[in-house]
Amino acid sequence: MNAQPKTKAVVLLSGGMDSAVVLAQARADGCDAHALSVRYGQRHNAELVAAAQLAAALGAASYRIVEVDLRAIGGSALTADIDVPEAPSEGIPVTYVPARNTIMLSIALAQAEVLGASAIYVGVNAVDYSGYPDCRPAFIDAFERLANVATKAAIEGTPMRIVAPLIDLSKGDIVRLGLRLGVDFALTVSCYQADAQGLACGRCDACRLRAAGFADALVADPTRYATPA
Amino acid sequence: MNAQPKTKAVVLLSGGMDSAVVLAQARADGCDAHALSVRYGQRHNAELVAAAQLAAALGAASYRIVEVDLRAIGGSALTADIDVPEAPSEGIPVTYVPARNTIMLSIALAQAEVLGASAIYVGVNAVDYSGYPDCRPAFIDAFERLANVATKAAIEGTPMRIVAPLIDLSKGDIVRLGLRLGVDFALTVSCYQADAQGLACGRCDACRLRAAGFADALVADPTRYATPA
């Protein structure tokens, strides 16, 4: 009696709350989930420390970090010497990293092909988000179409699915889903400028969106904040 | 009297003959050409030394190297401990690097957005090539569609063109085009396993395709070969 082999999936894991919920969802969907973080020159390392802990806590089949030095390109408050804004702004904010999700999904596609995975899970969200173009359904659909002509596996008949289970959820919904799936949000770091201990600033977009999500879900947020100045 | 501002383009430049011709074509098309190499963990550095020389010789407006460590992913004779084949093989060869062109075009897209460029030039070729899936017109078309939903620039109304001027040319045609555009092929390195001095093996797929192209064009190939064992 052979058990049905599990679907292999690559899960992009940042260390923030959304991708933690996505990893838990991939596991709940019955996947062998291979977690992948991309170190792209972001200002702090606390997110990646959190990602490694989350991969272990949520039962990832493997955890890998791939480096791509987007500081050579710059153009964002997360990868260049531009201040992270601490008040809401109009339009697409300076924390937008040019083509970031395209690059991260491309690297995940390479990993998926090497592993023989047939799905890539990604935590993009088009509801309570920062207006980034590469978090919209049209982007995910276009990447899936690309993935299905880009690889040897696709040519040989193994289709690739890009799974974005949070795309239509509010931040409050994401908190509720994560709690249902057993995510320990105390392990996650959302802040764009967390310190070396992972303490959050409480003022950037990412901190504000997270706090609003927990408030909406009527759940206490375990975020540890740096002492305000 | 203001001159019309030139179109800015990002040109993916590997140091091989095809991308050198593409850079020359971008300049002939009147572009400010920003050359970009991706160091992805390929076995040797001779190609990138060649790329820097070509960028200068062909009048690139800038030259930049971005690192992405695909050795963390492996799966190819170019990025893992797998021998480069020295005889023709059936199907897609082990020198195929999973999702390589997707990753390189994604990084070029980030660079294009930061520079305000409206075109990305890439030297893929679907005629005398090694059967790589990410060298086909369907792949280029799918990436262009993705690029036009992926970025802040696209959302704000600046379309992105992916230009693949060699895609329908034979290797002989590429040699002839390069000579017409003034490319010094002595500066280019095609070999998958060139030594530190850029001397070619003469046996891998890339060496064979290059030699056949020069033979077809009835032109002497300036490739310097390592002394055969």
Tens digits of per-residue pLDDT, A2-32? Answer: 566 789 999 999 999 999 999 999 999 999 9
Q: How confident is the model at residue B45 (pLDDT cuts 50, 70, 90)?
A: confident
In chain A, the N- to C-terminal Cα span, in Å, equals: 63
Average pLDDT over residues B95-124: 93
pLDDT of residue A43: 61
* Option in A98, A113, A154 nearest B110 (CB): A98
Average pLDDT over residues B177-199: 91
pLDDT of residue B214: 94
pLDDT of residue A2: 52
Q: Answer with the residue of higher pLDDT: A45 or A9.
A: A9
Average pLDDT over residues A38-43: 79
Highest mean pLDDT among A110-114, A142-146, B122-126: A142-146
DSSP string across chain A? -PPPPPPEEEEE--SSHHHHHHHHHHHHTT-EEEEEEEE---S-SHHHHHHHHHHHHTT-SEEEEEEB-GGGT--STTTSS-PPPSS--SSS-TTPPTTHHHHHHHHHHHHHHHHT--EEE----SSSS---GGGSHHHHHHHHHHHHHHSHHHHTT---EEE-TTTT--HHHHHHHHHHTT--GGG----TT--TT--B-S-SHHHHHHHHHHHHHT----PPBPPP-
Examine the pLDDT at B5 and tell me if it is beyond 60.
Answer: yes
Q: How confident is the model at residue B172 (pLDDT cuts 50, 70, 90)?
A: very high
Q: Answer with the residue of higher pLDDT: A158 or B22.
A: B22
Average pLDDT over residues A51-73: 93
B109 and A98 within 8 Å at the Cβ level: the answer is yes
Average pLDDT over residues B200-218: 91
A106 and B99 within 8 Å at the Cβ level: the answer is yes
- Gap from A130 CA to chain B (nearest CA, Å): 12
CB atoms within 10 A of CB A214: 19
Distance CA A29, CA A181 (A): 11
Residues of B in contact with A63 (CB under 8 A): none
DSSP B226: P
pLDDT of residue A20: 98
Range of lowest pLDDT (A88-97, A111-120, B90-99): A88-97
List, in sequence order, every residue forming a beta bridge with B216; answer none if it has no partner.
Answer: none
pLDDT of residue B88: 67
Burial A109-124 (b: 16+ CB within 10 A, else e): bbbbbbbebbbbbbbb
Q: How confident is the model at residue B129 (pLDDT cuts 50, 70, 90)?
A: low
Mean pLDDT of all residues in chain A?
Answer: 89
Q: How confident is the model at residue A118 (pLDDT cuts 50, 70, 90)?
A: very high
pLDDT of residue B229: 45
Q: Are A139 and A100 in contact (CB under 8 A)?
A: no
pLDDT of residue B228: 58
pLDDT of residue A129: 61
The share of chain A scoring above pLDDT 90, in percent, equals: 62
Say which CATH topology domain B8-217 has: Rossmann fold (3.40.50)
Highest mean pLDDT among A60-74, A197-211, B138-152: B138-152
Average pLDDT over residues A110-130: 88
pLDDT of residue A7: 93
The share of chain A scoring above pLDDT 70, in percent, equals: 92
Domain locations along chain A: 8-217
B75 and A107 within 8 Å at the Cβ level: the answer is no
Tokens of A172: 């409050």
Distance of CA B134 to the CA centre of its chain: 12
pLDDT of residue A229: 45
Amino acid identity for residue B132 in this structure: Y
Interface A-B: count of C-beta contacts within 8 A = 148
Query: Hey, of B8, B151, B156, B158, which one would you mutate to test binding to chain A, going by the most A CBs within 10 A of its CB?
Result: B151
pLDDT of residue B85: 74
Distance CA B11, CA B23 (A): 6
Query: Hey, of A12, A105, A114, A122, which one would you mutate to test binding to chain B, going by the most B CBs within 10 A of its CB?
Result: A114
Query: Hey, of A34, A39, A152, which one would you mutate to test binding to chain B, going by the most B CBs within 10 A of its CB?
Result: A152
Question: Taking Cα atoms as reference points, which of B141, B137, B133 lies closest to residue B167?
Answer: B137
The number of residues in chain B equals 229
Examine the pLDDT at B59 and tell me if it is beyond 70.
Answer: yes
Mean pLDDT of all residues in chain B?
Answer: 89
Residues of A in contact with B152 (CB under 8 A): 92, 96, 98, 133
Examine the pLDDT at B64 and tell me if it is beyond 60.
Answer: yes
* Option in B65, B102, B154 nearest A146 (CB): B102
DSSP B185: G
Residues of A in contact with B98 (CB under 8 A): 109-111, 113-114, 151-152
A109 and B101 within 8 Å at the Cβ level: the answer is no
Distance CA A183, CA A217 (A): 15
